[in-house]
Structure 1
Amino acid sequence: MRIADILRTKGSEVHTVTPDTTVCELIGDFARFNVGAVVVCENETVAGIVTERDVVRALHARGPSILALPARELMSGSVTTCLPTESVDSLAETMTEQRIRHLPVVVDAQLVGIVSIGDVVKSRIDELQAERDQLASYIHGGG
């Protein structure tokens, strides 16, 4: 299975913000869109990513004053991305090795989607269920 298959199922909508968006606005986006990360875009290209974990760690380290800071102050500027043509298995490996939960999907420097670890797990469960159903059908069909 490819990343494009996940995007086809879940959709390609990505919630983005500008580097000047405040952390307080980011938190509102997390809740409003029920997402754990937002991609920071500048001039239609990925500039960074901010996750709920980034916000919590900054709150712990610096206190509530971070709520007024712009996204650029908390974003991870070095963003691992993937292509729609990559396999879900290779993406799972990347996410595990780099300990990241969200990967923007980029084609020709344009953001076309985002994949979370939850999406990867769901796709694997769906694959296993399909295999199980095929085996059950084979067994019950008499071979």
Structure 2
Amino acid sequence: MLVEHILRRKGRRLATVDPQATIARALEILAHDNIGALPVVEGDTIIGMISERDVARGLVDRGASLLDTPVSGVMSTRITTCRPDTNIDDLMTMMTERRIRHVPVLDDDGSLAGMVSIGDAVKSRLDELETEAQALRDYVAGVQ
């Protein structure tokens, strides 16, 4: 199964945040959309990622004043991306090895096509295993 299959199922709608937005604004978007990370974009280009984990670590270091800090001051700039034709197993391996939970998906032209979370990848893999298990049960039962 490919990342494209996940994007088709969950949609390509994607919340983003501007690097000059405050951390408070980023948290509003995360809460409103019930998500754990946001791509930070400048124009059409992804320049970073901001996650709940980044904010939690920033709060420990800077306290409540962090909320008025621009996203650019806290965002991660080492971005791991994938493409729609990335295999889900390869994506899960990459996410596990790099200890990341959200991966932006870039089209061939480098434009942001969506986001895949580790939860999306696990659900996709479980759905695939259930389909295989059902096919085997049907085969053993003689169902055609």
TM-score tier by shorter-chain length is over 0.9
Task: Show CA shifts across 1:23-45 (max 9, x none).
Answer: 00111111100000011000211
Is the partner of 1:40 in helix, strand or coil?
strand
2:36 maps to which residue?
Answer: 36
Where in structure 2 are the equivalents of 1:16-55 lying within 5 Å?
A: 16-55=16-55
User: Scaled by the length of structure 1, what TM-score is found?
Assistant: 0.97
**Equivalent residue runs for 1:51-130 within 5 Å:** 51-107=51-107, 108-130=109-131
Partner of 2:9, secondary structure, is: helix
> Runs in 1 of length 4+ with deviation above 6 angstroms?
none
Percent identical:
45
Aligned to 2:75, what secondary structure does the other structure show?
coil
Q: CA deviation at 1:109?
A: 1.6
Q: Quick one: distance in 2 between partners of 1:129 and 1:135?
A: 10
Which residue number corresponds to residue 141 of structure 2? 140
Q: Secondary structure at the match of 2:103?
A: strand
Partners of 2:143 and 2:115 lie apart in 1 by 43
Letter in 1 for 2:52: E
Secondary structure in structure 2 of the residue aligned to 1:16: coil
After TM superposition, give the deviation of residue 142 of structure 1 in Å.
6.6
Give the structure 1 partner of residue 3 of structure 2. 3
Task: Write the deviation string for residues 39-95 of structure 1: whole angstroms up to 9, x where unpaired.
Answer: 100021101000000000100111010000111011111111000011001100110
Give the number of aligned pairs: 143
Structure 2: gaps (5+ residues): none
